[in-house]
Structure 1
């Protein structure tokens, strides 16, 4: 029996990497090599128990990263702008990984990319955590690494973390402080990404060279709020905040996220139909909210 092809997952203990690792381990079509800086952390131990080869490597340490990619058929790669808030660092991380994928002759890389907004808008708008990934996407292709970019929509999960609804002063309602106006916003449960990526690895000839915008559905903030209200029994509303007001909220990254929402208001290409083809069991927001009912009730 032939050995299974190895997929190296860079960022395996994060949200996206964890989803991909979990899905590949359950499917067993590929062998998983999970890359993390700390192999002793609980998430790494969980992957090891599930059957992954867990290896220590640092995105800034070329030697360890090279070893993690050596002998692999393919890789899933995710970088994290919000570790350092530097577009230049994130672009350099992606390019370093691209060079090593080229060196080791990987046959298929699935890169968690995004558009180079600064380039697309002729410099009118900069979204740094998009732009760095966009530069890396371009570099993968410049050096002819066989790559598919998955451009993942807003996580439904963000409504319980970085975009948690804010209780109003009277305590009667919860406001979704997201500056999208009445423009629908694409969304997806991050847990559903794994099956999408597995389908891409299973069909390399169809998807290598493609940019795939991943989204389960498009809803306005008002519609997201209505679903949260229906499921939780609480009252959620769209705050109707503007990007200009949002960027003055004072938290680290406020301006960056305001620019992201400005870009999302242009409705970038996210392909709901293709996403459902790649993962026929995707979770819509109502299903997600129902699965997190207690979390929304406990806000």
Structure 2
């Protein structure tokens, strides 16, 4: 019996990494090495109990990245822009990982990427947490790392946090502030991402060299709100906020996120049929809300 190939999963205790680790375990075709800065975390210790090799690794240390990839067939790499909000640092981390993968002969580098909006719009829009990932994606191709770049849409899970419906004072109404007007927004549950990665790893000849833009549903904000209202039994409405008002909200990254929504309104093409081929069990928004009603609590 041949030995299973080893996949190194970076960011293993984050939302994407966790999904990838669990999908790899469920599939059983590969050995898993999980990389985290803190192996003592409960989520990391749970992975140890599941038979995962958990190692400590810092994205800012080339030696850590090299040690984590040593002996691996492939890897999944995701960076965390929100943590530091520095495009240059994110690009450096991604390029370092790419260089290490090239030097070690990694056979399949799966990169959690996003579009280079600055380049695509000729400099009219800048979305640093997209643009940096896009630059790393281009670098992977330039230096010849066998890679597949997966671009996630808005997470359905954002409706539990960032897009969470807010109660209007003195009214029995909740509103969702997503400044998309009547333009549909692609979405997907990050929990459904892991099986996509596994499918790509199992079919390298089909997907190496590809950039895949994922989505499992395409809805207007009014349609998202209607589904939330139906499933949660609340009156949830579109706040109908303009992108101009959004960028004036004053929180960190408000202007950048406004530009992200401007880019989304340009309707960058996403591939729902391919997403469903890669994970036939991936949920649309209504299925996801139905399955996660308890996480909304009483809003």
Q: What's the counterpart of residue 236 of structure 1?
A: 236
* Separation in structure 1 between the aligned mates of residue 250 and residue 292 of structure 2, nearest angstrom: 29
Question: What are the superposed Cα offsets for residues 3-58 of structure 1, whole Å, 9 maximum, x if unpaired?
Answer: 11010001010001110100001111001100000000011111111121100010
Find out whether 1:107 has 2:107 as its counterpart: yes
Q: What's the counterpart of residue 85 of structure 1?
A: 85
SS across alignment from 1:231: helix
Map 1:244-259; keep pairs closer than 5 Å.
244-259=244-259
* Separation in structure 2 between the aligned mates of residue 295 and residue 23 of structure 1, nearest angstrom: 22
* Separation in structure 1 between the aligned mates of residue 230 and residue 132 of structure 2, nearest angstrom: 38
Find out whether 1:131 has 2:131 as its counterpart: yes
Q: What's the counterpart of residue 296 of structure 2?
A: 296
Q: What's the counterpart of residue 35 of structure 2?
A: 35
* Separation in structure 1 between the aligned mates of residue 175 and residue 46 of structure 2, nearest angstrom: 36
* Separation in structure 1 between the aligned mates of residue 243 and residue 50 of structure 2, nearest angstrom: 43
Contact kept, 8 Å, 1:233 with 1:297, in 2: the verdict is no
* Separation in structure 1 between the aligned mates of residue 40 and residue 14 of structure 2, nearest angstrom: 15
SS across alignment from 1:131: helix
Q: What's the counterpart of residue 275 of structure 1?
A: 275
* Separation in structure 2 between the aligned mates of residue 272 and residue 241 of structure 1, nearest angstrom: 27
What TM-score do you get using the length of structure 1 for normalisation? 0.98
Q: What's the counterpart of residue 159 of structure 2?
A: 159
Q: How much has 1:297 moved relative to structure 2?
A: 4.5
Q: Which runs of 4+ in 1 moved over 4 A?
A: none
Find out whether 1:192 has 2:192 as its counterpart: yes
SS across alignment from 2:89: helix
Q: How much has 1:277 moved relative to structure 2?
A: 0.5
Gaps of 5+ in 2: none
What TM-score do you get using the length of structure 2 for normalisation? 0.98
Q: How much has 1:255 moved relative to structure 2?
A: 1.2
Q: How much has 1:169 moved relative to structure 2?
A: 2.2
Q: What's the counterpart of residue 173 of structure 1?
A: 173
Aligned residue pairs: how many?
Answer: 299
* Separation in structure 1 between the aligned mates of residue 174 and residue 292 of structure 2, nearest angstrom: 16
